[in-house]
Amino acid sequence: MERQQIIDGLVDILKTIRTVDQSKLAGINEGTDFIADLNTPSTEMINIAAKAEQKFKVEFDDDDIDGLGSKVKDFVDLIIKAKARA
Amino acid sequence: MIDKTAAIDNLVGIEPAVVLSHGPTKILLDKYLWHSPDAGIVASYTPTERDVKDHFGIFRGVDQIEAFAQATIVSCGAFTESRKLNCSFAELKQIFIPVFIGIGPVKFHSYLETGDTFISIGQIVIYKFRQMVCNGRIYKAPEGLDLDAYFSAFNKERLTAYDLSNDFVLVAELQDVTGRALKREVLKQ
């Protein structure tokens, strides 16, 4: 799966989350920070991770989430890592 | 001493100090009255003189929120996680620290004074990646009511409907109370 495909999938997820600033979704790239750039509440990160599991058909470990950063790149890396170990 | 939570069905009958990492001066929880691990919990507390000191005899709203969090996200989260890891509460405390990370709207309807026994009634919304979200309410319990007997017949349907007798007084409504168990080494970073 290409990294851009994952980003597109993440944007689809973010469109369903009302606490995310929808006006900023158009310009998302790997450097975008969910919290700083999209005003995503930090508590929402778990929800996004849970939806990413379903969307990309992967399973994250609790420890994966402990070490997860708040940038789009961090999610893309995690999804690729989870797919590789599946 | 509980070696493994797999040996118990729920938290009723367990001393809160066994479950919580908080020290004795910070525990705002006396007793677990009812608990269904996949649904929610009811627990009680009676504010002491120390709790209301310098606050005109009233138990602070912020302490109500803390009491609710201890009763719900912390206690229910600890139970679920210890089951998942098949470990005791003592072992769990060595690995994790409970972190209060968020809260949604809170509405206060009444107040609590020294000696008023109240219940926190919490419904589990989600538990994922060691993060728990609960909604719920705080009610002042009728004076003299045997809470153990009263909640012995409680069930999930009554929890969902906040089905209590009319002599319970609604004190607060709380939404999206969120906490997470963080590994001690992560918290230090």
| Alpha-carbon dihedral sign for residues A3, A20, B40, B119 | positive
Across the range B33-52, mean pLDDT stands at 97
Single-letter amino acid, residue B91: E
Q: Which of B53, B76, B51 is nearest to B63 (CA)?
A: B51
Q: Which of B102, B129, B133 sits opposite A65 (nearest CB)?
A: B129
A74, two tokens: 């961090």
For residue B41, give the 3-state DSSP assignment. Answer: strand
Q: Residue B12 region, left (φ>0) first, then alpha (ψ -120 to 50), else beta?
A: beta
- The fold for domain A3-85 equals 1.10.1200
Q: How far is B130 from chain A (nearest CA, A)?
A: 7
Give the type of residue at B185: E
CA angle B111, B116, B122 (to 5 degrees): 70
Farthest CA pair distance, chain B: 49
Interchain CB distance below 8 Å, B129 and A41 = no
Of the candidates A43, A49, A63, which has its C-beta nearest B102's C-beta? Answer: A43
Contact A52, A16 (CB under 8 A): no
pLDDT of residue B29: 98
Residues of chain A with pLDDT below 70 are: none
Amino acid at residue number A26: A
How many Å is the maximal CA-CA distance in chain A?
A: 35
Q: Could you report the per-residue pLDDT of B84-99, keeping only the tens digit for each?
A: 999 999 999 999 999 9
pLDDT band per the 50, 70, 90 thresholds, residue B138: very high
- Cβ distance A42 to A49 under 8 Å? no
Domain ranges for chain A: 3-85
Residue B21: predicted pLDDT: 93
Chain A, window 46-65: residues with a beta carbon less than 8 angstroms from a chain B beta carbon: 46-47, 49-50, 60, 62-63, 65
Does the beta-carbon distance from A43 to B101 stay under 8 Å?
Answer: yes
- Chain A residue whose CA is closest to B181: A66
d(C-alpha B162, C-alpha B164), whole Å: 6
For position B35, what pLDDT does the model report?
A: 98
Task: Count the neighbouring beta carbons within 10 Å of the beta carbon of residue A54.
Answer: 9
With bands split at pLDDT 50, 70 and 90, how would you rate the model's confidence at B2? low
What three-state secondary structure class fits B189? coil
What's the pLDDT at B186? 76
Judge: A46–B131 Cβ closer than 8 Å, yes or no. yes
Query: Mind listing the domains of chain B with CATH numbers?
Result: 5-188 (3.10.129.10)
Look at B11 and B1; give whichever has higher pLDDT: B11
User: Looking at the complex, does the CB of residue A11 fall below 8 Å from at least one CB of chain B?
Assistant: no
Q: What distance in Å separates the CA atoms of residue B79 and residue B71, rounded to the nearest whole number?
A: 11
Confidence of residue B36 (pLDDT cuts 50, 70, 90): very high
Q: Could you give the CA distance from residue B32 to residue B17 in angstroms, rounded to a whole number?
A: 11
pTM for this predicted structure: 0.91
